[in-house]
Structures are given as structure tokens and as C-alpha cells.
Amino acid sequence: MILFIIPLLRLLWAVSGAHTLTRNECSIPAEKQALVDDLQDAMESSVTPSSFPNPSILIAMNLVGAHSAEAQKLLTEMIASVDSTDLTTGQLALNIMALTSSCQDPGDRVLLLKEQLQDWTFSSPQDPYSVFYGPSLGLLALCQQNQEDTLDLAVKFSKMLLASVSNFNMDTGAMATLALTCVSSMTDTNNDYNELFGHALTSIVENIGRRIDGNGLIGGTYSTGLAMQALSVQPGEKWNCKPTMEAVLNEIEQNRFDNPMSIAQLLPSLSGKTYLDVPQVICSSGQEVRQTPQSHGRPLSTSASNTIEVTYTINNQLRGVETGFNETETVTVEKGSVLLAVLEEAQCRNPAFKFESKMTSWGLYITSINGIEEVENHRTYWQFLSGQAPLNEGVGYYKPYNNEHITANFTQY
């Protein structure tokens, strides 16, 4: 009986549109609204003709209502002109959702995505849980396009997810929850499909629930936005969103959301929206334009003594990966500099510290140091740590403090 009732509740919940957080349940206190408006302005002002065409920003803007019609138009045009052929499943899915949220036809991209998902398989249950992040986005986008093969793909996806024995990854679990909630609403309640989806959902939501910290954050600062979306679409979920909202507002006040992508993943939850609302966005022309402030540039240092020292170690002890090394440099950079300045300074002083990077939706991602390059198929990458603790931001945003010891460690995920 219970196996029947849970899917029924989920279906009614999903089709009723009741998944949006109602404002009285979890609303932004009036005195904090300006904080959130400023955050949105900062995200929108990052959109320029030369910036990375970030579909997550467009989705967030459209879900909550853009402040700048100009930024919205520019980003829609930029996303529409991205060449789809080289995109990963996750990127393709985000582009489809972004165009849909701008009331644009995603065209051939949908077929391309379906083909990619049909070909997708995970090689072993030991694969990291994050391998499901992109396919979750893919499933969500296909479900929103009402593609007929979506259910078969969702069955394959759910079985693989349930077979996975890797450590749970919060962001991936949240995205998978959104995808499975969407596909659950595509079928009748009392069939084998819904039993399977319900089983997968229950296990993920339990994992998310275990990550709610005493302070209200869920899986850390940068996972909370997606986790809020996931929990808010679960009928009967006992999560109390008020402490989470307060914790997030506190993090915003501490300037933890300076990366436009981090804002894009948080903003929908702050406005009671989720990615499940993408197909329901109503596009109106002539949206109200709010005056956007100039981008918050970092203050320039005025005095030469206003500097910090950072010790930087690069370490490769991975067996089977060419030459091992462990080198350390102590460099001086301006106070308030981001970690990238440390990498650049070290590279100037010592050729062993030579590095390469690529631009992504989260900013600069380090692909190679001292000639050792990450290999996606081997699941190798350059991880950054402060002492023993992994950094929770990348080199373009993390600001080291005086005498900090940063390590770049070549490792596997």
C-alpha cells in the first residue's frame, strides 16, 4: 500500500505545481530583500559580450525575473549561438533549459541530448557519484521537453544510481532528485516505473537529510541552493527551511557568494523556485529594468606594504603518473588577491610551477601543473587544499590569508 501512496503523493505534488516554496513557509525577511536584489544585480552584471556564456545564469534570471532586460537578451543570444557539437551532456541540458526558460525553441539540441543519454553508461559501481551530475541534468531537460523515450532512459539511470556504491555527493543527489521528480510526474502512479523512481528518490532524499548541518546549511555553502530545490519538491518532507534560509542569508552577508555561478545556483531557491519551474516561465517583453550597479571590483591596494606571504606546494605522488615531485615556493602577493595571483607569481619565479587552465561556468579551472595534466578517464585532477582541508572555491575566487599554506595535489576522485 505504502508503495502506492508515495508515488501518488509525488505525482499530485509535481503536477499541481505545489513544489515551489511558498513565501510564507520560507520567505526572505523584508529587511534582507535588498541583499538578495544586490546579489542578483551582481550576477547579472557579470554578463558581458566577452564573458563565458553561462546557461545557469540565464535560467536563474528567467526563473526569478530578470532585473536587466539587456543582460537577459544578450545572454539568450549568446546561448543560442553556442555550437552544440562539443558540449557535454550536462552543458547541453543546461543550454536547452536556458533557451526554454527564455521561451526559445531549443531545436536539434534535444535530439542530440537524447542520443548522448542513450549512449551513456557508467563503467563501474565504484565510479564517483558525481558522474551522475551531467546525466541528471540531461534527464531533467528531456523530461521537460516531454520526450517519449525519457522513461526508458530514467529506468536505466535509476538502476545505475541504485547500483552505485560511491560516496554520496550532495550536488549530484540534488540534481538527480529534480530529474527523478520530473520523470515521476510523467507516469501513472501504480506501476513498476514509479516504484523504481520512488525507491531511488527515497534513498537520495534520506542522504540529503543527513547532510543538514546544525547551522541550517545543507552539505556546505555552495551545495545548499541545489539542496533546497531538491527538498522543496518532496511532498511530506519534514525539512524546516527557515533555519536554512537564515543560514544562507548569513553566508551572503559574509560575501561568500561572489562567484556569479554560485549566485545562479542559489537564487531560484531564495525566490521559492526550482528548475522544475523552467517550462512554466512566462516570457514578457519590456520587463521592468532595475538600475544595475557597477560590478564590485576589488579595491586596489594603495600601499606596497599591504601584502601577504603565501606558501605554495605542488605535489604529485600518484603512482603510475610520470615523475613524482613535491616543490614549495613562498610568494608575496597583494592582500586581498585571489589564489590565481599566487599561482602566477610562483610560475614567474620557478618554471616547475607552470600551470594551464580552462574557462568554465565556475571560473578558471586548473587543468595542468608542471606538465602533469588531468585525464578525465583516469579521474585525475589537481585538488587545492589549505593545510589538509580542501578549498571550497577555485583559484579565481579563493582569497588566501597571510602565511597560509596552499597545496595543489594531483589526485583522483
Q: Which is nearer to ligand B12, 255 or 291 (CB)?
A: 255
Q: Which member of 327, 392, 399, 404 binds ligand B12 (CB under 6 A)?
A: 392
Whole-number minimum distance, CB 144 to ligand B12, in Å? Answer: 16
Q: Which member of 16, 33, 48, 88 binds ligand B12 (CB under 6 A)?
A: 88
Whole-number minimum distance, CB 386 to ligand B12, in Å? Answer: 9
Which residue is nearest to ligand B12, using beta carbons? 394
The interaxial angle of helices 192-210 and 170-184, nearest 10 deg, is: 150
- Binding residues among 241-270 for ligand B12 as defined by CB under 6 A: 259, 262, 265
Q: Phi, psi at residue 155, to the nearest 5°?
A: -65, -45
Half-sphere exposure of 66 (CA within 13 A, CB side): 27
Compute how many other C-beta atoms are within 10 angstroms of the C-beta atom of residue 355: 20
Half-sphere exposure of 252 (CA within 13 A, CB side): 26
Q: Which member of 122, 168, 325, 365 binds ligand B12 (CB under 6 A)?
A: 365
Q: Which is nearer to ligand B12, 353 or 384 (CB)?
A: 384
Q: How many residues does the chain have?
A: 413
| Cα–Cα distance for residue pair 327/410, rounded to 1 Å | 13
- Binding residues among 295-354 for ligand B12 as defined by CB under 6 A: none
Whole-number minimum distance, CB 97 to ligand B12, in Å? Answer: 11
- Binding residues among 177-206 for ligand B12 as defined by CB under 6 A: none
| Cα–Cα distance for residue pair 293/15, rounded to 1 Å | 39
Q: Which is nearer to ligand B12, 198 or 363 (CB)?
A: 363
Q: Which member of 101, 158, 172, 316 binds ligand B12 (CB under 6 A)?
A: 172
Q: List the grid coordinates of 204.
A: 537520495
| Cα–Cα distance for residue pair 63/269, rounded to 1 Å | 10
Nearest to 233 by CA among 1, 3, 11, 8: 11
Q: Which member of 134, 138, 268, 272 binds ligand B12 (CB under 6 A)?
A: 134
Q: Which member of 248, 393, 406, 410 binds ligand B12 (CB under 6 A)?
A: 393
| Cα–Cα distance for residue pair 233/212, rounded to 1 Å | 16
Q: Which is nearer to ligand B12, 13 or 384 (CB)?
A: 384
Q: Which member of 40, 144, 169, 181 binds ligand B12 (CB under 6 A)?
A: 169
Point out which span in 147-155, 204-212, 332-340, 392-400 binds ligand B12 (CB under 6 A): 392-400
- Rounded to the nearest 10°, the torsion over CA 387, 393, 396, 397 is -100
Q: Which is nearer to ligand B12, 193 or 222 (CB)?
A: 222
Whole-number minimum distance, CB 385 to ligand B12, in Å? Answer: 6
Q: Is 360 in the site for ligand B12 (CB under 6 A)?
A: yes
N- to C-terminal Cα separation, the chain: 41
DSSP H or E segment with residue 329:
strand 325-334
Q: Which member of 171, 251, 277, 329 binds ligand B12 (CB under 6 A)?
A: 171
| Cα–Cα distance for residue pair 225/331, rounded to 1 Å | 35
Q: Give residues with Cβ within 8 angstroms of 193, minimum separation 6.
A: 151, 154, 155, 187
- Give the count of residues interacting with ligand B12 (CB under 6 A): 37
Please give the residue ranges that form the binding site for ligand B12 (CB under 6 A).
88, 90-91, 94, 130, 133-134, 169, 171-172, 220, 222-223, 226, 259, 262, 265, 360-366, 376, 381-384, 390-395, 397, 413
